[in-house]
Structure 1
């Protein structure tokens, strides 16, 4: 069987499974999700063993420490994946909910009702937990899902997918509701993107090259989960201790994720005090600082010169670019010019400045006195997420259950005809 035939067969099975999934009640889907969570825990040793082979290969290939952290699974991380699935099972099922209803003068009753999208294709890199996070959200909303993970996590993804299939089918899910493309052949990405006969929506999560490849070939709608060039702006009226904690958390806690801080902007009025304090703490935690001229003068040789490329860099590592700005307007202009419309934060005690930042920064999530690390489906109360959309349509920010549905109009009458 050729790769194209293999991908087509996966699509055909997914389409058939989606029709069966759409018939399941919320209780049936929730029972299946709990079965999947149990299966992940039960098969944790096998999943960890598969992950170890991926890690060994990744280390030989020179993946960074941050990328290795994204790839690594442990008993604790698998338990957290299972708990995330159980939390999704506890959430309200949006399918079948009436978004709006009204009655026309002729008596027609019009209802706008949430429905599954159908078959969703998800293409992602590095993080094997996405295999379960993305799949369970699709299943909860009655969508079949076709997954294509990165080559660096192929063994981990296969083990997770097998556990999900076993746990779900034992509790009434169609056997092909979750399928993983079992090859690292890059042509699989193109073939998925061209398979509009079977896939209704495709979601790429990863680097620029992956997303551009999907967008250039896709024959169905695409929701991009693009890179995160996230900013913290420290205003002249900021609590500098708070600003330091938010900056450290945003950069250091997990530097290899898309909601980590990549650029720090500091008002000139507080730059000396703040950068002496925050800079020392960042450096102590192993962060390389790439600063503009004003930053380098304050840090006195403890930073590297920032280039134009640094302002658009998603480092996904212990590196941060720092710029001193004259005012809020310059900070907003910098974010608009160099940012990725993902997550950006202001730290200030000035309500007017905060509201201006929140209103004028055109990003999927904007924060006042809080870390950008909260841009996450679990932290937003969604249970999990399929990713962080930097698009404006049809979803923006963390994609939860509502964003995995579409709608249809259900009209009830008693014999009306149009005149």
Structure 2
């Protein structure tokens, strides 16, 4: 049996064990995992430094290096995320009555784990802890295939989690890491449809396309994060400026950072000079249409087809629009179904924006940076789905389960 086949088979067997574990026991394991991450943070950082040294030698892009880096703060965030998951309600086993049929049979739906989930990701070692904890709480085994950039870090985190599983007499196969980044093993992994129930890729658009095109297993897709802030004619300009700066500059190499600014022409003469000054102070490069470009020193004028870029850097596209409908049309064309934000004091406009815009998260007067599982009360997310089957938006515990029918009778037969 090949390495990949063996890992997949063992994961499927382990998932059967986990599916029967009660909530209190799962929460105890999760709290011990959080403690173990804190206790072993120096070892984890040492292994992470191996990955960082390799990244520097290979001239990895700054955004990728940022995602790869593990600091005390980020390890603490992982631990806190796991503790948060332990405090969340367990969806497994929840019952939803569908009533009683005229013939007397009673129908209920019960939440159950999906089974085995495969995560394919690039330079994101925190995914090892986040995905491991979320899958564990929701009753699923997880197979983690990280990129070569984060392999040492991911293995270090997994080893810590394995120690805790062993202490509780649980199979280590509940959280498996593919120890070799060979592309051939990835191809084999994406064909284990007899044992793996869902694949969730996290990374650049190229990775998502590759997995989607080659997998024989259902895939949760999140191609890119092109998020916009629309500043409406009824916006509070101070709020709008804060949303812009936080969304664009607080952390650039993430999918919920702003990549587009859309401004109503009625408010542009007041707002764009404010934006130009503040963005210049932060060193943000401006790409703009010919109208908006007039308000920025050194702006690059771009054409219609040049909007919709995911910069993941201190760079943004700016467009002036004539009205609300034009703003929505721009977002419909260039957005990526991730997160869209409106700044307005008009409640009717805000409500219309939230109904009209097709995105997994639509915000009113709040930063796009809140489009994150932990910020939305899900604990650490396992991914963000920008297609609509079977989940849409940040995926927490409930998104890692499905429902099965329970039918109870007293001997009824069909006529």
Query: What's the offset of the Cα at 1:307?
Result: 4.4
Q: Is the 8 A contact 2:11 2:143 kept in 1?
A: yes
Match of 2:204 among 189, 204, 207: 207
Aligned to 1:41: 38
Q: CA deviation at 1:225?
A: 2.3
Output the CA distance in 1 between the equivalents of 2:98 and 2:169. 33
C-alpha distance after superposition, 1:47-91 (max 9, x if no partner): 100111111111222223332221110122111111110110111
Does the CA contact (< 8 Å) of 1:37 and 1:167 recur in 2?
no
Partner of 1:337: 333
SS of the residue corresponding to residue 269 of structure 1 reads coil
Q: Distance in 2 between matches of 1:296 and 1:322?
A: 8
**Corresponding residue to 1:388 among 384, 389, 394:** 384
**Residues 236-279 of structure 1: per-residue CA shift (max 9 Å, x gap):** 11111110000000001111110000000011111122111111
Root-mean-square deviation (Å): 1.3
Determine whether 1:130 maps to 2:127. Answer: yes
SS of the residue corresponding to residue 145 of structure 1 reads strand
CA contact (8 A) 2:209 2:223 kept: no
User: Given that residues 14 and 146 in structure 1 are in contact (C-alpha distance below 8 angstroms), is that contact kept between their aligned partners in structure 2?
Assistant: yes
TM-score by length of 2: 0.97
SS in 1 for 2:406: strand
* TM-score normalised by L of structure 1: 0.96
Where in structure 2 are there 5+ consecutive unaligned residues? none
> Which stretch of structure 1 is more off in the superposition, 216-225 or 241-250?
216-225
Deviation of 1:357 after TM superposition, in Å, equals: 1.1
Aligned with 1:176 (options 151, 173, 177): 173
**Maintained 8 Å contact 1:189/1:214:** no
Aligned counterparts of 2:317 and 2:79: Cα–Cα separation in 1: 36
Match of 1:74 in 2: 71
Do 1:106 and 1:416's aligned partners in 2 also have CA atoms closer than 8 Å? yes
Query: Match for residue 118 of structure 1?
Result: 115
Choose from 136, 147, 161 the match for 1:164.
161
Q: Cα–Cα, structure 1 residues 308 and 64, in superposed 2: closer, same or farther, change >3 Å? A: farther
Kindly tell me: are residues 52 and 308 of structure 1, through their superposed partners in 2, closer, same or farther at Cα, counting changes over 3 Å?
A: farther
SS in 2 for 1:176: helix
Query: Which residue number in structure 1 is paired with residue 263 of structure 2?
Result: 266
Report the counterpart of residue 360 of structure 1 in structure 2. 356
Aligned to 1:234: 231
1:148 equivalent in structure 2:
145
The answer to whether the 8 A contact 2:276-2:295 is kept is no
Establish whether residue 295 from structure 1 lines up as the match of residue 305 from structure 2. no
- In the alignment, the residues of structure 2 paired with residue 383 and residue 259 of structure 1 have an alpha-carbon distance, to the nearest angstrom, of 17
* From 3, 7, 14, the counterpart of 1:6: 3
Do 1:70 and 1:127's aligned partners in 2 also have CA atoms closer than 8 Å? yes
Contact 1:120/1:143 (CA < 8 Å) preserved in 2? yes
1:321 pairs, out of 293, 317, 329, with: 317
Name the CA distance, whole Å, in 1 between partners of 2:236 and 2:170: 52
Q: Is the 8 A contact 1:32 1:172 kept in 2?
A: no
C-alpha distance in 2 between matches for 1:298 and 1:353: 26
CA distance in 2, matches of 1:82, 1:331: 40
Q: Any idea what SS the aligned residue of 2:294 has? A: helix
Structure-2 separation of matches of 1:283 and 1:188: 46
* Inter-partner Cα distance in structure 1 for 2:364 and 2:151: 39
Q: CA deviation at 1:111?
A: 0.9
Structure-1 separation of matches of 2:278 and 2:48: 34
Deviation, structure 1 residue 167 = 1.5
1:55 pairs, out of 49, 52, 59, with 52
Distance 2:101 2:365 in 1: 47
1: CA distance, partners of 2:165 / 2:85: 14
**Partner secondary structure for residue 367 of structure 1:** strand
Of 182, 189, 194, the match for 1:192: 189
- Residues 73 and 294 of structure 1: is their aligned pair in 2 closer, same or farther, counting only changes over 3 Å? same
